[in-house]
Amino acid sequence: MITGRTRVFALVGHPIRHSLSPAMHNELFRRLGIDAVYVALDAPPERAAQVGEAIRSLGLAGCNLTVPFKEAVIPSLDGLSEAAACAGAVNVVVVDDGRLVGHNTDGAGYLAALREELGVDVAGRRCAVLGAGGTGRAIAAALAGAGVAEVRLFNRTLRRAEAAVDTLAARFPALRVSAAPLSPDAFAAEPWNLVVNCLSGPGLPSLHGFSVTHLPRGPEGAVWTDANYWLSDPPLLAACAAHGVRIQRGIGMLMHQGARSFELFSGRSVSADTIRGVLDIGGW
């Protein structure tokens, strides 16, 4: 029963009606007997700079952030975790004694899902990250920390990718890191052996005309992953499968980053398998 003492958590973003996060967190709260509720707040993008103050004013206990708020919230926070600072993006805000502390669980969730589902060790791989928004930068930072040989960030706005490259280069001086325009020719210039599609919404049509035939095939070849778990037919996944490139959908990342988010919110650990059962998504 929701009472005046029930803690309120939220997902803030736009659009968010497709999200599985409310179902996931509310069922976990119920199973573990935690007096809390999790809601979805579809906020206007033009109000992005006001999200931090809204968290304070409404007395939220914490929130997840998605597009387009992962970066805009940072100036209004009181602190950042190392992962959030490295990514320059926040997907979890925890309220700690009135202080808003930003975290980022996307990168760790992505790596955990890649290991669990495909047994992939990213060390030494040459990685193409499509999209330099909050998710793309978080995954690029996690890949850098895990010892990849190279990261190239492809983005429609090149300067945005270059800014992310500057941050990564300062934190990982041994990493080969660069930015490139999001174009078929730029992508096809190198035989990447790990590709992460972090584009969403209006960015997805940018992949029209891309080819995957230059990617190495077979069990030891390239891996193409897509962070958009809600898409029924993510761009180029079918083309990769037909070419013999291993593929991964984003649902595993959702479960692993969600488990880390839940622990930050509640102090209680849950496994990705628990979340898989909560959402009944064994067939994804």
* Rounded Cα gap, residues 79 and 183, in angstroms: 36
Is residue 190 part of the annotated active site? The answer reads no
Which helix H or strand E contains 144, and what residues bound it? Answer: helix 134-145
134's enclosing H/E stretch is: helix 134-145
Of these residues, 14, 70, 246, 249, which one is catalytic? 70
Query: How is the beta sheet containing 99-103 ordered, strand by strand?
Result: 36-42, 7-13, 62-65, 92-96, 99-103, 79-80
Strand order of the sheet with strand 246-248?
176-181, 150-155, 126-130, 194-197, 223-226, 246-248
Number of H helices, E strands in the chain: 10, 12
Measured between alpha carbons, how far is residue 273 from residues 25, 98, 117, 203 in Å? 14, 33, 12, 31
Residue 267 gets the label, from left (phi > 0), alpha (psi -120 to 50) or beta, of left
CA distance 173 to 163: 15
Catalytic residues: 70
